[in-house]
Structure 1
Amino acid sequence: MTEHILIVGGGTGGTVLANRLAEKLAPEIDSGDVQVTMVTDNEDHVYKPTFLYVPFGKKTTADARRPVRELVDRRVDITYDRVTDVDTDGQRLSLADGRPLDYDHLTLAMGVELVPDEVPGLQEGGHHFYGADGAEQLQEALAEFTEGHLVLSVIGVPHMCPAAPVEFTLMADDWLRKRGVREDVEITYTYPIQRAHGIQSVADWATDQFEERDVNVETFFNADEVDPEEKVLHTMEGNELDFDLLVGIPPHTGSDLVTDAGLGDGGWVDVDKHTLEATAADDVYAIGDVADVPTSKAGSVAHYEAGVVADRIASNARGQVPTATYEGKTVCFIEAGMDEATFIEFNFGDEPTVRPASKPVHWAKLGYNESYWLTARGLL
């Protein structure tokens, strides 16, 4: 009887996992003992870090896309459809077209969704770079912006690419200086807790960078409403902040499928942080942004988690005891302007060291962005 491995989601985590499983279980797949199926509702794979560069004209949204089928090993079946129900007791998924899919091992890797409408006025009065449409609209707005108050407000936490708001602010400062209009633009960065970033060392580094570049910083700033007409950002603490151009990092949410299946609260799958197995169901894993793991919602996390889960599922499929564990490995490049960057690397419980920014690290980040497609294919 064929053992069926299902993966929901065609992003970084799902794609890397599918390719790792195809490699590890190639003999079993070829003999018909194992079948690997990816279910995704998007025929394109989207590499979201590309969107950070779109507002500055350095990338296009087309650069962020590749067909899923081009990236996934041919030994993996792909079903293009939307999952409407997860039945962990019956080990079955329901699809939008009415078909059921049974599984022996399931991995949820469907990422997160943006929900800007949870903040009144944010869609009408703000911009963001966390999706293709938003990045393109911000590019148009930024191209015409030569004076006034630019506000970057981190409204939703947790969110994808935790360093990206800091990166955008430093890139905007540098970009405006190179255009000769920085002296006519005031820049303010806001964050909802009492420091500039969730990681203390990054917060310290960013605060120093902001001070050097005359960027205002407002911490413990929890925006809860935007007045698009008056161009005012209101907070739950009762404060107000005027803006001429607002870049608001919108709230993110997990999946209703997770909540409905009893796998976790708020749409995030409750997992063992080392094995990435769901705590509420057998033979279910979660990786990437949808997994409730105490580290960043970053592509590198999904990548490393996918390797662990591939090892564990392959061991199970062969009747072996799985031993691979995830120790929280996270790697993050951080742009410090338009041509310099730094990076951090850490595991669970570590406080990362932020190294001095440099041009070589910036080019290393751009190089990785180009080679990402090989990484997704499992070639790097």
Structure 2
Amino acid sequence: MHRIAIVGGGTGGTVLANRLANELKTEIEAGEVEVRLITADPEHVYKPTFLYVPFGKKTVDDASRPIEELVDRRVTLEIGEVTGVDTDRKQLSFPDGSTLEYDQFVLATGANLEPEVIPGLAEGGHHFYGPDGAERLRDELAEFTEGHIVLSVIGVPHMCPAAPVEFTLMVDDWLRERGRREDVDVTYTYPINRAHGLESIAEWATALFEERDVTLETFFNVDEIDPDAGIVETVEGIELEYDLLVAIPPHRGSDLVTDAGLGEDGWVDVDRHTLEATVAEDVYAIGDVADVPTSKAGSVAHYEAGVVADRIASRARGQTPTATYDGKTVCFLEAGMDEATFIEFEYGEEPYVREPSKPLHWAKLGYNESYWLTARGLL
């Protein structure tokens, strides 16, 4: 039997498992192939939902569904933790000492928040990148009537690269709707010399920030937070006072990656077109954990999953894989509470930022609702 193991039940892992179940359904039903999805969390989480929780537009319950409802019946779903990967023996290990052999293996473990890297950040900062953080930020915003809100991008790279810009434009609009904006200063900080890593998005965001009286601080590399004094201190020697700090924490990959020698800092070194690990055979990585020169976004995981499904299916049939990933990324960006824009690009391209509109905002909300069909492999 040809054994395919996928570790990680986020967007990439789930879409991949379902794509393989469809492409290899004949082989699976004949007992010639097994597709096994291993994930530590029985809930599948759609993280972009958390952006809307601080504004009361979504709840954390809207962001998750039992993964067993999303995975094709032909996939062997296992809720558990993988503690080790031996790429020489092609073997995974588990906490109870048991092991699982594989013929082809895919890491789709995502990215993890690591606020403790910055002294004072866990105590003095808020974020919207997880359920608890999004709910705490919602409660803070509900009572925030005056003062200084600072949105600081500390960790780069990070999940959902457009989200910090979106949050800043949304909070500006949200405060205006409630008649609070005149009593609240808003500042956005970014660690390089512009407002975003992609130049076209940086130019678009900078123009909107100027129009909406949002202060932009660039070359702003946070060194530590003083939560008692309400001060952000930077490597460059800048001190910025805040009343509410919304920070994008540093991110890290998976310890499995580092321990298996597949890459530094938990990110898998892969060929950017084939998504195969550069130091091990029959190992792939998709989604945030794959070190490729594009965004750590859900659409990237989705498109990568399609490519890897094709490559793995070819090998399972004894054929030469030909599918490649070209860096395709698509993303909706909220420009406030009721307008959005849309971008798409590939490796080496700068995205064109369309004029924000209400229909594009509705399209983003519509996609968020239909995401569960995407996870099932139906879109």
For this structure pair, what is the TM-score category when the shorter chain's length is used for normalisation? over 0.9
Q: Match for residue 281 of structure 1?
A: 280
Deviation at 1:360, TM superposition (A): 0.2
CA distance, structure 2, for counterparts of residue 43 and residue 352 of structure 1: 36
Amino-acid identity (%): 74
Q: State how 1:204-243 maps to structure 2 within 5 Å.
A: 204-243=203-242
Q: Match for residue 23 of structure 1?
A: 22
Deviation at 1:91, TM superposition (A): 0.2
Q: Calculate the TM-score normalised by the size of structure 1.
A: 0.99
Partner amino acid, structure 2, of 1:216: T
CA distance, structure 1, for counterparts of residue 303 and residue 353 of structure 2: 21
Q: Match for residue 162 of structure 1?
A: 161
How many residues matched? 379
CA distance, structure 2, for counterparts of residue 69 and residue 29 of structure 1: 18
Partner amino acid, structure 2, of 1:334: L
- For the residue of structure 1 that corresponds to 2:333, the secondary structure is strand
- For the residue of structure 1 that corresponds to 2:344, the secondary structure is strand
1:172 is aligned to 2:157: no
Give CA deviations for 1:86-130 in whole Å, capped at 9, x if unaligned: 000000000123221110000000001100011111111110000
Partner amino acid, structure 2, of 1:186: D
Partner amino acid, structure 2, of 1:33: E
CA distance, structure 2, for counterparts of residue 281 and residue 204 of structure 1: 40
Residues 8, 40 of structure 1: 8 Å contact kept: yes
CA distance, structure 2, for counterparts of residue 126 and residue 319 of structure 1: 52
Q: Match for residue 303 of structure 1?
A: 302
Residues 39, 80 of structure 1: 8 Å contact kept: yes
Residues 289, 302 of structure 1: 8 Å contact kept: yes
Q: State how 1:307-326 maps to structure 2 within 5 Å.
A: 307-326=306-325
Deviation at 1:255, TM superposition (A): 0.9
Partner amino acid, structure 2, of 1:41: A
Deviation at 1:266, TM superposition (A): 1.0
CA distance, structure 1, for counterparts of residue 233 and residue 66 of structure 2: 41
Q: State how 1:176-215 maps to structure 2 within 5 Å.
A: 176-215=175-214
CA distance, structure 2, for counterparts of residue 40 and residue 95 of structure 1: 12
- For the residue of structure 2 that corresponds to 1:83, the secondary structure is coil
Residues 81, 97 of structure 1: 8 Å contact kept: no
CA distance, structure 2, for counterparts of residue 12 and residue 365 of structure 1: 17
Deviation at 1:79, TM superposition (A): 1.1
Give CA deviations for 1:149-192 in whole Å, capped at 9, x if unaligned: 00000000100000000000000000000000100000000000
CA distance, structure 1, for counterparts of residue 254 and residue 378 of structure 2: 30
CA distance, structure 2, for counterparts of residue 96 and residue 179 of structure 1: 51
- For the residue of structure 1 that corresponds to 2:31, the secondary structure is coil
Deviation at 1:366, TM superposition (A): 0.2
CA distance, structure 2, for counterparts of residue 378 and residue 255 of structure 1: 25
CA distance, structure 2, for counterparts of residue 308 and residue 171 of structure 1: 34
1:42 is aligned to 2:45: no
CA distance, structure 2, for counterparts of residue 117 and residue 135 of structure 1: 18
- For the residue of structure 1 that corresponds to 2:351, the secondary structure is coil
Structure 2: state its 5+ residue gaps.
Answer: none
CA distance, structure 2, for counterparts of residue 357 and residue 69 of structure 1: 37
CA distance, structure 1, for counterparts of residue 264 and residue 246 of structure 2: 29
Deviation at 1:135, TM superposition (A): 0.2
Deviates more, 1:89-98 or 1:338-347: 89-98
Structure 1: state its 5+ residue gaps.
Answer: none
Residues 335, 362 of structure 1: 8 Å contact kept: yes
Partner amino acid, structure 1, of 2:17: A
Partner amino acid, structure 2, of 1:252: H
Deviation at 1:369, TM superposition (A): 0.1
CA distance, structure 1, for counterparts of residue 351 and residue 111 of structure 2: 25
